[in-house]
Amino acid sequence: MFKRNQDIREAKKNIPTWLIAERLGVHENTLHNWMKKEMCKKRKERIISAIVGIKKELAEELDPPEENENKNSGSKSV
């Protein structure tokens, strides 16, 4: 079966559709309807940008930047 907007589907992977729709400020059903037809470049870029932002946030949650690393770097020598 032919799948439209394959680049978005590949970028999305296992990110829930509702999360992408929430980031875009649209209803989940709207995003599903958009996926039924090949989208224009501008809309695709907007969706891909939302996906990239979500992935970045998820990565930061899993591996938060170490805030204490700079504070403790000069205090003790081993």
Mean pLDDT is lowest, of 18-27, 46-55, 66-75, for: 66-75
User: Whole-prediction pTM value?
Assistant: 0.75
Number of domains in the chain: 1
Q: Judge whether 76 lies within some domain.
A: no
Tokens for 22, please give them. 């929430």
Q: What pLDDT was estimated at residue 21?
A: 98
Average pLDDT of the chain to the nearest whole number: 87
What pLDDT digit, counting tens, does each position of 10-39 carry?
999 999 999 999 999 999 999 999 999 999
Q: Judge whether 69 lies within some domain.
A: no
Q: From CA 41, how far away is CA 65, in angstroms rounded?
A: 34
Q: What pLDDT was estimated at residue 68?
A: 55
Quickly tell me which residue has 């891909």 as its tokens. 48
Q: From CA 16, how far away is CA 27, in angstroms rounded?
A: 13
Q: H helices of the chain, where?
A: 6-12, 17-24, 28-36, 41-62, 68-72
Q: Judge whether 24 lies within some domain.
A: yes
Task: Residue 54: give the domain boundaries.
Answer: 6-62
